Copies of this chain bind each other. A is one copy, B any other.
Amino acid sequence: MTHEATLPRYRVAVSVQIHPVPGLPEITPGDDLAAMILDAARAADTPIIDGDIVVVTSKIVSKAEGRTVELDDITPGAFASEWSQRWEKDPRVVEVVLAESARVVRQLGPVLITETHHGFICANSGVDQSSSGAHGRLVLLPVDPDASARTIRAGFAAAGVSAAVIISDTFGRPWREGQTDIAIGVAGMAPMRSYIGEVDPHGHEFRVQELCVVDEVAAAAELVKGNTSRIPVGVVRGVEHVVDDSATMAPVLRDTSRDLFR
């Protein structure tokens, strides 16, 4: 294209493909996710290649890392017990949700919106009571999803594949019904696409200053993954991105001082 040189950096004008990675077995602690994902993608005739962005549902990461708790091992405190009774919740689940939170952002009726120790704001600290592979077991978010992503990326690299990795989860949001998948961990790519300093053809600065491309990629991957844990990985191909070996989600987490809704 002849106007290529005038396009802002990171411009993309090619098609994007998103491939599901089916066929992964039930994940257990210690599993080598990178190797399993590479094998499953190869078996599905869509091997992962250099430049791909591999989006991994946090739940299988948590299972591989042993981030589950048995409800029988939990003794709820007074706060969890009292509130649970009032709203017919399991006090042991509430106890775990509170333990996984740094701060309660909203507690209204049966709804508990918390800020996790990572800095994510979501319902129930992202604690998942469903699809845990057993009744009475909770799946927690990974302790450090950026580190989880780096481990998987390193596993790909050891097999000769240079790919970025996003750990995704399904969050609600204010103002809008329905949930969407967003990024909670990243490795190997800048989380933002910046237009700061760019001008449009008329000399105006762009209204959009920074796009959170990792959240858009996570949402895109959900379109092939679904939420059944049967297809927990999507491979996004063709999205131009800035390779960054030290990338983390930190730039995405808005500081409290800049937040009007916390």
Cβ contacts under 8 Å, A88 to chain B:
none
Cβ contacts under 8 Å, A262 to chain B:
174-175
| CB 8 Å contact bits of A140-184 with B (1 = contact, 0 = none) | 000000000000000000000000000000100111111111100
Q: Which of B22, B111, B207, B260 contacts A128 (CB 8 A)?
A: B207
| CB 8 Å contact bits of A1-18 with B (1 = contact, 0 = none) | 101000110111111111
Cβ contacts under 8 Å, A18 to chain B:
15-18, 220
Distance A11 CA – B246 CA, assembled complex (angstroms):
35
The answer to the question of A96 belonging to the interface, with a C-beta cut-off of 8 Å to chain B, is no
| CB 8 Å contact bits of A197-234 with B (1 = contact, 0 = none) | 00011111111111111011101101110111111000
Interface size grouping (class) on chain A: 35 or more
**Chain B: which residue is nearest A12 at the CB level?**
B224
Cβ contacts under 8 Å, A200 to chain B:
130-131, 228-229
**Chain B: which residue is nearest A229 at the CB level?**
B200
**Chain B: which residue is nearest A182 at the CB level?**
B176
Distance A82 CA – B10 CA, assembled complex (angstroms):
39
The answer to the question of A185 belonging to the interface, with a C-beta cut-off of 8 Å to chain B, is no
Interface hub of A134, A178, A220 (most chain B Cβ within 10 A): A178
Cβ contacts under 8 Å, A252 to chain B:
176-178
A131-B204, A220-B216, A220-B219 given as contacts; is B177 within 8 A of A253 (CB)? Answer: yes
Is B213 a contact partner of A223 (Cβ separation < 8 A)?
yes
Is A206 a contact partner of B111 (Cβ separation < 8 A)?
no
Cβ contacts under 8 Å, A3 to chain B:
230
The answer to the question of A188 belonging to the interface, with a C-beta cut-off of 8 Å to chain B, is no
Minimal beta-carbon separation of A243 from chain B (angstroms): 17
**Chain B: which residue is nearest A109 at the CB level?**
B260
Is B202 a contact partner of A223 (Cβ separation < 8 A)?
no
Is A17 a contact partner of B20 (Cβ separation < 8 A)?
no
Is B13 a contact partner of A212 (Cβ separation < 8 A)?
no
Distance A76 CA – B17 CA, assembled complex (angstroms):
48
Cβ contacts under 8 Å, A205 to chain B:
130
Q: Which of A112-157 contact B (CB under 8 A)?
A: 113, 120-121, 128-135
**Which A residues form the contact surface with B (CB < 8 A)?**
1, 3, 7-8, 10-20, 22, 46, 106, 108, 111, 113, 120-121, 128-135, 170, 173-182, 191-192, 195, 200-213, 215-217, 219-220, 222-224, 226-231, 236, 239, 251-254, 259-262
Top 3 closest pairs, chain A to chain B, by CB: A178-B212, A220-B220, A174-B261
- Extra 7 A-B pairs, beta carbons < 8 Å, given A113-B260, A173-B173: A14-B224, A16-B223, A108-B260, A130-B207, A174-B254, A180-B215, A208-B227
